[in-house]
Amino acid sequence: MSELLANDLITPDAGESPLLSLSEVSILKAAPLTRLSLRARDASLKDAGKAFGAALPVNPLLAETSKKRAALWMGPDEWTLLAPEEDCQALFTAIEEKLGDQPHSLVDISDRSEAIIVSGEKASWLLNTGIFIDFSIESFPVGTVTRTVFHKSPVMVWRTGTDTFVVEAWVSFMEYVTGLLVQSAQELEVA
């Protein structure tokens, strides 16, 4: 697990039992996180990155990670900033102070979504039961992050390792997403 991106940040929720644990693929609920949505112009990215503690990626579909921080590219002027749960208020204040009058928008969206960790050799197969993206490692290398659609639910997928994906959905969609993943995985139990 050690080579996984952001493994000091995205951790299984200790209080939750696995949603799925097969030898080929498992699904774990991730512990709560601070999630901030940052919208800003190019001129402010450096300052924002400094205040946050990780640079903001400018190339599409990329994530930058540093110690307990991850900045995910969501759009050309949109980033989701991930940090430990307890850092929320301090980070919010720090970024607001640093950016001051520079045009930007910082909004706390920590509770808007939940994350699950889907891992195992069949992880990408399982995601492909509902997501049409080509998850071959050449097309979707480790570190790639994107919003997309899982069946009828919008989701975010972030590949943190060859066989490990972080999947986020808005909270009220999570039951649908995990329910379908578990249902689709059951055929893997058949020898």
Partner 1 sequence: MSQPFRTEKGGRIDRNEQLTFTFDGEQMQGHKGDTLASALLANGVHLVGRSFKYHRPRGIISSGSEEPNALVGIYRNGDQTPNLRATQVELYQGLEAISQNRFPSLGFDIGAINDLMSPLFPAGFYYKTFMWPKSFWDRVYEPVIRAAAGLGKPPKKPDHDFYGNLYAHCDVLVAGSGPSGLAAALAAAETGAKVILCDEQAEFGGSLLSENSASVDGKEPADWVAVTLARLGAMDNVTLLPRTTAFGYFAHNYVALAERITDHIANPDPKLPRERLWQVRAKEVVIAAGAIERPLVFPENDRPGILLADAGRTYLNRYGVKVGHKVLVATASDSAWQAAFDMADHGVEVAAIVDLRETPPKNLMAIAEARGIRVEAGCVVTGTLGRKRVKAALLGRLMTSGQVASGGQVECDALLMSGGWTPTVSLYSQSRGKVVWDGDKGAFVPGKSVQHERSTGASKGLYGLQATLEDGYAAGENAAKAATGKSAKIAYSTATGGEASNGGTLGALPHDRNASRVKAFVDYQNDVTAKDVKLAVREGMHSIEHIKRYTTTGMATDQGRLSNMNALKIASGALDRPLTDVGLTTFRQPFTPTTFGLFAGVSRGDFFDPVRKTPSHDWVVENGGVFEDVGQWKRTWYFPKNGEDMHAAVARECKIARESVGLFDASTLGKIEVVGPDAAEFLERMYTNPWKKLATGRCRYGLLLNDAGFITDDGVIGRLAEGRFHVTTTTGGAPSVFARMEDYLQTEWPDLDVWITSTTEQYAVAAVQGPKAREVIAPFIEGIDLSAENLPHMSVREGTFCGVPCRLFRISFTGELGFEINVSRRHGKMMWETLAKEIEKHSGTAYGTETMHVLRAEKGYIIVGQDTDGTVTPQDAGMTWAIGKKKLDFVGKRGLERPDLKADGRPQFVGLLTTDPKVKLEEGAQVTVAENPATGTSAEGHVTSSYYSPALDRTIALAMVKNGQALEGKTLYVPMPEGSIPVEVTGTVFYDKEGARINV
Partner 2 sequence: MLLIYCPYCDVERAETEFHCGGEAHIARPSDPSQTSEEEWVEFLYMRSNTKGVAAERWRHIHGCGRFFNAVRDTVSDKFLKFYKAGETMPDLEKISKEAGK
Among 14, 67, 76, 101, binds partner 2 (CB under 8 A): 76
Helix (H) or strand (E) holding 83: strand 78-84
Residue 141 site contact among partner 1, partner 2, none (CB < 5 to 8 Å, cut-off depends on kind): none
Residue 23 site contact among partner 1, partner 2, none (CB < 5 to 8 Å, cut-off depends on kind): none
Distance CA 179, CA 5 (A): 26
- What would the DSSP string read from start to end of 133-164? S---TTTS-TTBEEEEEETTEEEEEEEEETTE
- What would the DSSP string read from start to end of 87-109? GHHHHHHHHHHHHTTSSEEEEE-
DSSP-assigned beta bridge partners for residue 65: 70
Site mask for partner 2 (CB under 8 A), range 125-154, x = bound: -------xx------------xxxx----x
Residue 31 site contact among partner 2, partner 1, none (CB < 5 to 8 Å, cut-off depends on kind): none
Sheet holding 164-170, edge to edge: 20-21, 26-29, 113-119, 164-170, 153-161, 145-150
Q: Is 119 helix (H, G, I), strand (E, B) or coil?
A: strand
List helix spans (H) across 13-154: 45-52, 88-99, 123-127
Taking the CB of residue 84, how many other CB atoms lie within 10 A of it?
16
Q: Is residue 60 at the binding interface for partner 2, with CB under 8 A as the rule?
A: yes
Among 13, 22, 125, 162, binds partner 1 (CB under 8 A): 125
Residue 16 site contact among partner 2, partner 1, none (CB < 5 to 8 Å, cut-off depends on kind): none
**Among the candidate windows 10-18, 68-76, 98-106, 181-189, which touches partner 2 by CB under 8 A?**
68-76
Residue 97 site contact among partner 1, partner 2, none (CB < 5 to 8 Å, cut-off depends on kind): none
Site mask for partner 1 (CB under 8 A), range 70-109, x = bound: -------xx----------------------x-xxxxxxx
Name the residues that contact partner 1, by CB under 8 A: 32, 37, 39, 77-78, 101, 103-113, 125, 128-134, 136, 139, 151-153, 170-173, 175-176, 179-180, 183-184, 186-187, 189-190
